[in-house]
Amino acid sequence: MFTQSGEWAIISRHRVVITYLKSLKFRVFLVLLLAGWLPMLIVASGILDSYRERAIKVRGTDVQNQCRILSNQLISYNYLKDPSSELIGGELTQLSNLYDGRIIVIDENFKVIRDTYGLIEGKLVVSEEVIRCFQGETINQLSTKRYIEMTIPIQEADSQKIQGVLLVSVSTDSIWDNLDVLTGNARIFVLICGVLVLTFAVLLSYFLDRPLKRMIHSLQEIAEGHSTEDLKVKTYTETEQISQEFNKIMNQMRVLDESRQEFVSNVSHELKTPLTSMKVLADSLLSQEEVPIELYQEFMNDIAEEIERENKIITDLLSLVKMDKKAANLNIEPVDINDLLELILKRLRPIASRKNIEMVLESFRPVTAEVDAGRLTLAFTNLMENAVKYNRENGWVHVSLDADHKFFYVKVMDSGMGIPEESIDYIFERFYRVDKSHSNEIDGTGLGLAITRSAIQVHKGAVKVTSHLGEGTTFAVRIPLNYIA
């Protein structure tokens, strides 16, 4: 029985083997090995097969030519009628010895006139091959017993009459012996080349895998907090691209982490400040007797403003939480997008008028789409409200609506301060504030655009931004007309 430590050792080795078999290094090694060995084996096998077929074909052709010459001599010496010619007999024996075979001469009565083995002379040979040969066919047949059998008609060159048949058996032992020698040489060659290919595959897979190991090691150090440097593995185009994309993600995470820390600090301050102000105002009222109505009203207005400020922060946080629930609570229904945008602009125009900002809606056609009106209202309100908040005095906000057979498009353009190029990639991140220096002057929590993107994405839409610092910003939104579940 295995001890517990022995079982764990077996499991550990099993996992190591499985991990290696699933690794890129093993797969590269296997591909290189197969790419080296398979072609060699196929080529070697093809060459040997080609040699065997060619050698047998040449042997058969040579024997046929010799037998046709012999056939003419048999007719010239009338050997089928008088087999006493020693010259012909000697040529038959010489030819059979030359090819290590056997020649049987059969006359038109199927009688054996001559057998170089001397076994069946005077006997009748009636077989399918002989009969077909008398009908004019020359038959070649490769026997599994390592010899070629042929039936060749005996006839004059200018005559159609077949006077007899040569039944010839030719040994192919010499061909197979040569083939065995060649096969042995081929195996040695394949073995030597195979060892070289194996060595090459091991070395190349090792060197190809090294950059990936360096990358894994660097990632482990970064994950464990032992390194804060960027990932730099430029051995291959792919590893360089992976390094670049990873560094982008890490930079975004660092920025996001900084933004979160800043947000926690800001929100803590923002949530605490209204409460502190309200407590001070309330304590002031409570500490005084017979407070004048005017002062009482002033303090109550201040308290109401602080409550509204607190409520806005909480509302943004709750909105973001609701957006995270994705499509679970969507209330999809046909909505007139023209009316929805008009309503939003109507609500925001009083705020815009304080900075004398002109707000215009340009609608190219009536648009009705299947959307959640509440979430889209919140998304477009955030875009237009930002266009007003971050605009200049006497500026403008231009909203356009268009559609095709599949999507509707909303653009929100403004003449405001613009967004720095280095901030464009992060403006939709939660808690991110572009203009941190004016964060206290311009109210907001850095959640508006995150809420906007979530609302658009949950409708399977997309939002893009283009901006030039000091010239203005354009947000382009695309949303399907029909909701895609």
Residue 481 near residue 403, CB atoms below 8 Å? yes
Please give the pLDDT value at position 445: 58
Q: Collapsing DSSP states into helix, strand and coil, what is residue 330?
A: coil
What is the spatial distance between Cα 454 and Cα 326, in angstroms, rounded to a whole number?
8
Strand order in the sheet with 102-107: 112-115, 102-107, 164-171, 147-154, 139-143
CATH superfamily, domain 78-173, is: PAS domain (3.30.450.20)
List the helix and strand counts (H, then E) for the chain: 10, 12
What the block records as the tokens of 103 is 């020649």
Q: Collapsing DSSP states into helix, strand and coil, what is residue 400?
A: strand
- The CATH topology of domain 237-321 is Helix Hairpins (1.10.287)
CATH classification of 329-480, choosing from 2.60.40.10, 3.40.50.1100, 3.40.30.10, 3.30.565.10?
3.30.565.10
What is the spatial distance between Cα 253 and Cα 259, in angstroms, rounded to a whole number?
9
H or E segment at 282? Answer: helix 237-287
What is the spatial distance between Cα 441 and Cα 447, in angstroms, rounded to a whole number?
16
Residue 463 near residue 477, CB atoms below 8 Å? yes
Please give the pLDDT value at position 270: 61
Per-residue pLDDT of the chain (485 residues; tens, 9 = 90+): 445 666 666 776 767 777 767 667 777 778 877 887 888 888 888 888 888 888 888 888 888 888 888 888 888 888 888 888 888 888 888 888 888 888 898 888 888 888 888 888 888 888 888 888 888 777 767 665 678 888 888 887 677 788 888 888 888 888 888 888 988 888 888 888 888 888 887 887 777 777 777 777 777 777 776 666 777 777 777 777 777 787 787 787 777 777 677 666 766 766 676 777 778 777 777 777 777 777 777 778 877 877 876 777 677 667 666 665 554 477 889 999 999 999 999 989 988 998 999 999 999 999 999 998 888 998 999 999 999 988 999 999 999 999 999 999 999 999 988 888 888 888 887 666 665 544 444 555 567 788 888 889 888 999 999 998 888 999 999 999 998 87
The pTM score is 0.45
Please give the pLDDT value at position 208: 76
Please give the pLDDT value at position 266: 61
Residue for token digits 């939480």?
321
Please give the pLDDT value at position 10: 72
Domain edges within the chain: 78-173, 237-321, 329-480
Please give the pLDDT value at position 269: 62
